[in-house]
Amino acid sequence: MFLIYQAVQFDFFKYQGTGNDFIMIDNRRNELPKNDTKLVAKLCDRKFGIGADGLILLENDEMSDFKMVYYNSDGNQGSMCGNGGRCIVAFAKSLEVIENDANFSASDGLHHAEIDGDLVSLRMGDVKEIREKPDYFFLNTGSPHHVQLVSGLDDFDVYSEGKRLRYGLYGEKGSNINFVEQKSDDLFAIRTYERGVENETLSCGTGVTAVALAMHHSGELKGNEAKIKAMGGNLKVRFETNGGTYRNIVLIGPAEQVFKGKIEL
């Protein structure tokens, strides 16, 4: 008796938001074996798979337009991803799940977003605490972030220093590590070492958000809007403050489809 293995073919879509790239799969039928960590890691592998910083599933949700399920490129389910959140909104519009605005659920709760062309404005969760240390700030913008001002950012060894801090300061669970250089009153350059990817990425949405809030908390940013220059492009962050809590935080930037294809699993 012979067992016949029948491969299942899936459509996938590749999206990027300021160079932060994601595999998008419409999983509303719940067909993808999403608990297969090795499979997710293989799909994200840039030599043996499709290649991406992460994989995102769009699924049905009873309380909102859709659910976002995010995986880091190491195959493990991750915390909130800001650029991924913007990309899945663009993906949802292409599937005609939404029109020009969306409410969707993610690992850190409900989010609202608006889309105009390729520009997506994503409402992030409130931030109630920013820990200030002598050389850095720590806060959670849906994912944990270390924010540290440096000089000479272009030549800074982000990989080595980011890896050292990610494990040495925050242990196995880790934190994302952001290095920042102020360029003008409201413009900041950022480079980020991302946990889960375990390398520098061209952009990190929750990291960009963390930088804007940390710089306002420190007094370096005087207004309530920051321009952030990531390696992969430019983003904006708007916010309001009330009694030490940051509210109505909006991450604004482009999100676009790069290509689409089919893969057999």
The one catalytic residue among 57, 204, 208, 255: 204
CA separation, residue 12 to residues 91, 166, 174, 178, 263 (Å)? 11, 31, 30, 30, 7
Residue 173, Cβ density class (10 Å: 0-12 exposed, 13-18 middle, ≥19 buried): exposed
Q: Do residues 48 and 42 lie in contact, with contact meaning Cβ atoms separated by under 8 Å?
A: yes
Q: Do residues 234 and 253 lie in contact, with contact meaning Cβ atoms separated by under 8 Å?
A: yes
Tell me the C-alpha distance between 43 and 254, whole Å.
24
The one catalytic residue among 81, 127, 215, 221: 81
> Which helix (DSSP H) or strand (DSSP E) does residue 211 occupy?
helix 205-218
DSSP 8-state assignment for residue 95 = T
Task: Verify whether residue 81 is a known catalytic residue.
Answer: yes
Report residue 239 as tokens: 């916010």
Task: Verify whether residue 204 is a known catalytic residue.
Answer: yes
Residues with catalytic function: 81, 204
